[in-house]
Amino acid sequence: MSSNNLWFNMVAGAILATGLGIMGLRTLGDMVYANNQEAVGFPVEVAEAPAGGAAADAGPELMPDWGTLLADPAKTAELVAQGDKLHKVCSSCHNVEPGSANKTGPSLYEVFGRTAGTHGGFAYSDAMKAYGKAWDYDGLYNFLKAPKTYIKGTAMSYAGMGKSSDRVAVVAYLRSLAPSPAALPAPDPTRDPAQAAAAAAAAAAPADGAAAPADGAAPAATDAAAAPAAPK
């Protein structure tokens, strides 16, 4: 083999080795940095749907049993205090003092029982005026959950209050913003599954003093209607 051929082989080998080395370094760099890239933007958490279509099977939300929740004055006072704290985020848009002026939103003093869209001196949206109902327990509760869903077209920019317990507290607070808080509705066990079950169990229980039939005794005749139990 001549010296020229030997020199050529050495140069070609060096070039090939350099090229392979560069390719190897690039591949290694891609492997390292591909696993350490930071996500751009803010992470978005998506709630997983329950298995078996549970979300689709869920019925409408049960409304609070206001007559029971606010029957105890001590418990009501606690809810009002909690609602006062939660309402602080609304204070930049709403006044709550007697005779207070409107701000970005209307004054909320005596909002309970007021017909929506009628507070003097405030320019309500057409959607709010068209709603036209008096604000009561359920109406305020639903509006606080998702204003733009409950009254489509409202100008209120607040996104809504997700927790039911927070909405109950704010409704209790808004009810307190009056010389005489609105009357409570009668307790309604159908709004509370636990209460409904207790009421059903009580209705199915035998009247006090009713004796169970003796073993082997024939059941009582059912032709005559049973007399109602005396009120306790």
pLDDT digit string (tens) for 1-53? 556 666 666 766 667 666 666 665 565 445 444 444 333 332 333 333 344 44
Whether residue 139 is contained in a domain is answered as yes
CATH of the domain at 122: 1.10.760.10
Query: Which pLDDT score, from 0 to 100, does residue 32 have?
Result: 42
Whether the predicted pLDDT of 124 surpasses 90:
yes
DSSP assignment string, 113-142: TPBTT--TT----HHHHHH-PBP-HHHHHH
* Residue-wise burial string across 9-20, b where 16 or more C-beta atoms lie within 10 A, e elsewhere: eeeeeeeeeeee
Query: Which pLDDT score, from 0 to 100, does residue 53 have?
Result: 45
* pLDDT tens by residue, 151-172: 999 998 888 999 999 999 999 9
Residue 209 CA to residue 227 CA, distance in Å, equals 13
Number of structural domains (the chain) is 1
Q: Helix, strand or coil for residue 96? A: coil
Whether the predicted pLDDT of 84 surpasses 70:
yes
The domain of 173 spans 85-179
Query: Which pLDDT score, from 0 to 100, does residue 111 have?
Result: 94
Radius of gyration for the chain, computed over Cα atoms and rounded to the nearest angstrom: 35
Whether residue 61 is contained in a domain is answered as no
Query: Which pLDDT score, from 0 to 100, does residue 189 have?
Result: 85
Residue closest to 123 by CA, chosen among 149, 105, 96, 109: 105
